[in-house]
């Protein structure tokens, strides 16, 4: 853990972020001037409009690609997909040789491994600027560009005293007022349930199931907390919470320990129709400027990005066996 200077949280890191913010204007002006960058930019311009498949919040992703266009004059078409559909599409494109996607941003590690085994992704070492990203942040074919730690969320009108730990979820006070994510919706939500079971025991999930109601997806779940339909919810996604708070929704949020992060990774397609655009876009996303847009008020994996927050400590349960655990979770929660 200590060998990885990027993870971890605390006052010192916060100060570093603050320093980064102060330095940022200077940094922004110095990034693109290298000679090999000029070659890449020229090649990318020749290739034309690129294509990005992403599971990321569309508002944020739009800000990233519009700045990219401003800077390099290259337009990026964004297709937003949930993980299941993303896998289907990439497989279909790869198998048929009708490749559309140049770059992919996804949170599903298992999906990435399966597709990488088919040779769909090219090594990320081709991305200029990768050096800033530590070993723990990359695999051969992917690099983490955002941490999305799961949070505990509540309606501040209904919950007067801010909760402190995940255990507050099963407080009898919130019986009938509790909302939680259905573990069947995907790998990361199910991992959160596994973390809860491993940390607090099976009784925790049983009570969660008895006291609460399952939500079919994070965004609709958070909308119900904002409206007061339910009082307390887990696990929340910080970016969505920030969006609601900005609109004065009565919402509170903390990151109890331990938590997990649904990390967004960038990968380049082997058969990308526009390989130079792919590398240039990935380069931009990895740059401090790209990170500042992508992780505004969120969590960047590198330090010194203005406007980002210090990362809470993260646990990393085994995601490879998660599929087999879902039926057990479903039965503990009493969902069938």
Partner 1 sequence: MSAGAQHGRHWLRGLDPFGGFLLAMLVVVALFLAFPLVTAVLRTLADAPAGADAIVKSIESGALPKVLRNTLVVVLGGALIATVAGSVLAFVNERTDGTLGAAGELLPLAPMIVPPIAGVIGWAILLDPSVGLVNHLFRSLLGALGVDIADGPVDIYSAAGLVCVTGLYLVPYVYLIVAAALRGVDPALDEASRVSGASPLRTMLRVTLPAVRPALVAAALMAVIAGIGLFSVPIVLGTAARMDVISVHIYRLFDQFPPQTATGLMLSAAMVAVVQCLLLAQRWLLPPDRHSMIGGRGGRTAMIRLGRWRRPAQALALVYLATTSVLPVGGLLIVSLQPFWTPQVSVEQFTLENFAFVLFDNGPTSRAFVTSLGLGAATATAAVLIAAVLLLGAKLRRGRTARAADVVLALPATLPHTVIGVAFLITFTPAPFKLYGTVLILFLAYLAMALPFAARAAASAAASVGADLTEASRIAGAGPGRTFTRVMLPLAVPGLMAGWIIVFIHTAGEVTASTLLGGARNPVIGRVMTELWIFGSFPQLAAMSIVVTAVTSASVAVMLFFTRRASIRT
Contacting positions for partner 1 (CB under 8 A): 51, 57-58, 62, 77-89, 92-93, 95-98, 100, 108, 110-111, 114, 176, 182, 184, 186, 213-217, 219-220, 223-224, 226-230, 243-244, 247-249, 323, 327, 330, 334-336
Cα-Cα-Cα-Cα torsion 288, 294, 297, 303, nearest 10 degrees, comes to: -30
The two three-digit tokens of residue 26, written as one number: 């200077």
Nearest distance in Å: CB 324, partner 1: 12
Nearest distance in Å: CB 135, partner 1: 26
Between residues 144 and 241, which has the closer beta carbon with respect to partner 1? 241
Nearest distance in Å: CB 186, partner 1: 7
Reduce the secondary structure of the chain to three states and give it as a string: CCCCCCCCCCHHHHHHHHHHHHHHHHHHHHHHHCHHHHHHHHHHHHHCCEEEEECCCHHHHHHHHHHHHHHHCCCEEEEECCHHHHHHHHHHHHHHCCCCCCEEEECCHHHHHHHHHCCCEECHHHCCCHHHCCHHHECCCCEEEEECEEEEEEECCCCCCCCCCHHHHHCHHHCCCEEEECHHHCHHHHHHHHHHHHHHCHHHHHHHHHHEEEECCHHHHHHHHHHCCCCEEEEEEHHHHHHHHHCCCCEEEECCCCECECCEEEEEECCCCCHHHHHHHHHHHHCHHHHHHHCCCCECCCCCCCCCCCCCCECCCCHHHHHHHHHHHHHHHCCC
- Per DSSP, 80 falls in state E
Between residues 128 and 273, which has the closer beta carbon with respect to partner 1? 273
Q: How far apart are CA 191 and CA 325, in angstroms?
A: 9
Between residues 103 and 288, which has the closer beta carbon with respect to partner 1? 103
Between residues 227 and 316, which has the closer beta carbon with respect to partner 1? 227
Nearest distance in Å: CB 111, partner 1: 4
Between residues 43 and 245, which has the closer beta carbon with respect to partner 1? 245
Between residues 40 and 225, which has the closer beta carbon with respect to partner 1? 225
């Amino acid at each position: 853990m200590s060998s990885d200077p990027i993870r971890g949280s605390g006052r010192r890191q916060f100060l570093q972020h603050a320093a980064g913010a102060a330095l940022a204007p200077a940094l922004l002006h110095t990034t693109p001037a290298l000679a090999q960058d000029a070659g890449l930019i020229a090649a990318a311009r020749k290739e034309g409009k690129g294509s990005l498949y992403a599971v990321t919040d569309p508002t944020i992703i739009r800000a990233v690609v519009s700045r990219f266009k401003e800077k390099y004059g290259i337009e990026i078409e964004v297709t937003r997909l949930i993980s299941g559909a993303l896998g289907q599409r990439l497989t279909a494109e790869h198998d048929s040789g009708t490749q559309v996607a140049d770059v992919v941003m996804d949170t599903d590690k298992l999906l990435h491994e399966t597709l990488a085994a088919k040779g769909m992704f090219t090594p990320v070492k081709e991305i200029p600027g990768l050096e800033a990203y530590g070993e723990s942040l990359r695999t051969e074919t992917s690099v983490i560009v955002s941490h999305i730690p799961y949070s505990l969320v509540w309606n501040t009108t209904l919950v007067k005293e801010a909760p402190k730990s995940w255990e507050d979820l099963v407080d009898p006070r919130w019986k009938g007022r509790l909302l939680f994510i259905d573990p069947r919706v995907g790998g990361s939500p199910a991992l959160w349930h596994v973390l809860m079971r491993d940390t607090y025991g099976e009784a925790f999930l049983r009570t969660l199931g008895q006291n609460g109601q399952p939500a079919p997806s994070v965004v609709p779940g958070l909308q119900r907390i904002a409206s007061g339909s339910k009082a307390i919810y887990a696990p929340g996604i910080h970016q969505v919470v920030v969006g609601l708070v900005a609109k004065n929704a009565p919402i509170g949020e903390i990151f109890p320990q331990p938590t997990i992060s649904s990390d967004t990774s960038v990968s380049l397609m082997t058969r990308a129709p526009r390989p130079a655009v792919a590398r240039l876009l990935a380069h931009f996303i990895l740059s401090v400027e790209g990170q500042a847009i992508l992780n505004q008020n969120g969590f960047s994996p590198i330090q010194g990005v203005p406007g980002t927050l210090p990362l809470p400590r993260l646990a990393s349960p085994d995601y490879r066996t998660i599929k087999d655990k879902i039926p057990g979770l479903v039965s503990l929660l009493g969902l069938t």
